[in-house]
Amino acid sequence: MAMTASLWTFALVVGLLTLTPGLDTALILRTAALGRRRRAWGVVLGIQTGTLLWGALTSLGVTALLTASHLAYEVLRCAGAAYLVWMGVRMLRDTFRGRTSPAADEPEGPLSAGADTLGGGWRQGALTNLLNPKMGAFYVAVLPQFIPPGADHFTAGLLLTSVHLVLGLVWSAVLIGCARLLGGWLRKPRARRLLDRITGTVVAGFGLRLAFGE
């Protein structure tokens, strides 16, 4: 009973977190709206792989070392911030140079959402998630509070993390489905430039926030 109650309460917390627009939402929507459904699902699976790893490491107590070590946290934070700022600035730079991300039925450009492959999307999603130390800090702060006394820490932690994964997959499916409605509009170069500028600004903004935030 205690574990069931913890699962429902944890589902409410991470459900609200999942629905909050952020970096993951921007990446999934941009990739899917350009017609790259396989790559979009790769991004989703990469993000969820990162979430699973953070949950597993937290359950083992490893990520507690990250929050306890200021140096380790700062190194990961700087790496994550640099990656996000680079990705966002690259998107913005190319739109002002007249380059746009091609739609799924157009040839690949110098910079695009990437080839429509599951593996390419997975790498992007996993790297974005794993280079965000705040994911680790969130799990260290939140996950242990929902593990009932006497329960196996690792098993219960993975069970709670699986709730987050399921909610993330369901919400991602909704996002990808909605993005398909924008397919016709995004065949226009002007619309794709606007999408890349919005996404680039969001990604770079998250990178700067990660770099200079508390």
**pLDDT at site 44:** 97
* CB neighbour burial string for 40-57, b if at least 16 within 10 angstroms, e if fewer: bbbbbbbbbbbbbbbbbb
User: Any idea which residue has 């380059």 for tokens?
Assistant: 99
Question: Among 126, 90, 114, 119, which Cα is nearest to 32's?
Answer: 114
Q: Say if CB 184 and CB 36 are below 8 A apart.
A: no
Which portions of the chain are predicted below pLDDT 70? 1, 65-67, 98-114, 183-184, 186-187, 214
**pLDDT at site 98:** 63
**Residues 92-113: tens digit of each pLDDT:** 887 787 655 554 444 333 334 4
**pLDDT at site 187:** 61
Distances (CA, A) of 110 to 95, 100, 199, 209, 213: 12, 9, 18, 28, 33
**Residues 48-80: tens digit of each pLDDT:** 999 999 999 888 887 776 667 777 777 877 887
- How far is the C-alpha of 202 from the C-alpha of 162, rounded, in Å? 28
